[in-house]
Amino acid sequence: MSYQYYNPNPRKTPEAGDCVIRAITKATGKKWNDIYLGINIIGFFIKDMPSRNSIWNRYLKHLGFKRHMVNQDDYNVRAFCFNHPVGTFILAIDGHAVCVVDGIYYDSWDSGDEIPLYYWKR
């Protein structure tokens, strides 16, 4: 279970604030621009910012993902990967999101010590 660098942002800017878009691209295989537009369209119709959890959560639900709670304290991304060696997940972390595929977490930085609050699985 390990970390793999992943940044599909066309500008390759790691501090772009697009972690949710990066995570969803990895989980779905869709292009960064398509995810960005999809989330922004939902934000437009709801009249809220696309970075809000409620907006990107609605987008994931639209794509057929289901939300699950993480019910353990001190349970970091690495531990999640160890306990979920098969499947595709998007982990919601306080102010961040990361994609896990078959026990490997994909991010523009090593977020393995971060604590997931909940996760999405399709």
How do residues 17-35 score in pLDDT, each as one tens digit? 899 999 999 999 999 999 9
The CATH number for 106's domain is 3.90.70
pLDDT in tens, 63-93: 999 999 998 877 999 999 999 999 999 999 9
Task: Specify the number of domains making up the chain.
Answer: 1
Q: How far is CA 33 from CA 18, 79, 80, 107, 116, in A?
A: 11, 31, 29, 17, 26
The alpha carbons of the chain give a radius of gyration, in whole angstroms, of 13
Percentage of the chain beyond pLDDT 90 is 88
Crossing angle for the helix pair 53-62 and 32-46, to the nearest 10 degrees: 110
Residue-number span of the structural domain to which 21 is assigned: 3-121
The pTM score is 0.94
Q: How far apart are CA 65 and CA 15, in angstroms?
A: 26
